Amino acid sequence: MSEIARPFGKTQAAIALLAVVLLVARAAQLLLITSQHSLWGDEIVSVQMFSGKGLAICLSDYSIPNNHVLFNAINSVLPGAGSFEPARARMVSFVAVGFGLLVALYALARRRSWLVLLAFALAYLGDDRLLGVHLAARGYGMLAFSAVVVCLLVSGYLEQENPRNPRWMLFALAVSVVVGALTVPTFLFFGGSVLLALFCLRPSRMHFFTGLTVFVLADGYWGWMYTSNHGFKAAPAGFFEGEFLHLTAVLTLISLFSLEAWPAMLRYLAVAFAIVAPWLVAVGSPRRTAALCLWAAILGALVICLIMKRPLLHTVAHPLIPAGFLIGFGLEALAARWQQRWRPVP
């Protein structure tokens, strides 16, 4: 039985789907509260200075970093763009988060990757603080959606049994990275690292030119924004917004945005498991290549943040989502070994 054909399918499916239902019910409660709670400072600035002023301003003005470009651009062309009504202002984020969940549920259920679905759902919906950031009238919900799609496409693309991987997946992967990078530029730390890792693990001209094209598009746009706005102003660090000044920032990021209700030791054990997860997957398998690609991308994003020092923690919390995928990969590898070991002798 291949790793893609999941062992203990019915039991895993029941556990995963039950957990998803419970997590969605809790997330729906938080969404209801968020849809009624008045906007906070950055959300008000985002509506007042950008999405409420039209598409042209959203695409060209980066005088302050509150402009999450693609989020505000989409918001600006929808009815009620300048509204401060909570549900309307946050509508695009609600849709992005919900659509990300639906896409992952469909893709992982179709692959019968139930333990990956379980781990993903915990990372995506299990922390109220992170989910609150994603549901805000800012671009972080779109970053979460882009991260989900990138993870699904990387694993789907690299796990194809046909050696001629479908090019539409590679194209969709590039589009997903560009969408995230044009929303908040820090997404390129993760998305760019994914494309670089893909090229290193599977060198080819197609992978090289895909990464180069994404780099030219994203960096070209932000280079134009930097020039036309006479430089960028750094955002001040506020509540839950510490900067990547030291290595301890990685631990702070985990502490702030991963399963807040769980004891700290369990959270750090989960992260430790994500670190070793690629090496639990069968050597030489496509799943291992996919896991190594996501693992290297997370590491690359964190290293870039530590080198730059200035990124705010909540702007780079999206790599916690692929960490959930890694944990799922590791759990499925262990489950496959357990089944193989205890399979009854005929």
Give how far Cα 13 sits from Cα of 16, 20, 150, 300, 327, Å.
5, 10, 23, 33, 17
254, part of any domain: yes
223, part of any domain: yes
Q: State both tokens at 62.
A: 């980066």
Query: What's the rounded Cα separation, in Å, for the pair 104 and 193?
Result: 21
4, part of any domain: no
89, part of any domain: yes
2, part of any domain: no
1, part of any domain: no
173, part of any domain: yes
User: Per-residue confidence of the chain (346 residues) as pLDDT tens digits?
Assistant: 344 444 456 777 888 888 889 989 988 988 999 988 888 888 898 999 899 888 999 998 888 878 899 999 999 999 988 889 999 999 999 999 999 999 999 999 888 889 999 999 999 998 888 899 999 999 999 999 999 999 999 999 988 755 455 788 899 999 999 999 999 999 999 999 999 999 999 999 999 999 999 999 999 999 898 888 755 665 555 544 567 777 888 877 887 777 776 777 788 888 889 999 999 998 888 899 999 999 999 999 999 988 988 778 888 888 889 999 999 999 999 988 877 766 554 5
Considering the entire predicted model, what is its pTM?
Answer: 0.90
Secondary structure E strands in 67-123: none
189, part of any domain: yes
Nearest to 321 by CA among 199, 145, 176, 193: 145
Which residues span the domain enclosing 166? 9-342
Question: Which residues make Cβ contacts (< 8 Å) with residue 211, sequence separation at least 6?
Answer: 192, 195, 196, 198, 199
The number of folded domains in the chain is 1
Q: Do residues 318 and 142 make contact, with C-beta atoms less than 8 angstroms apart?
A: no
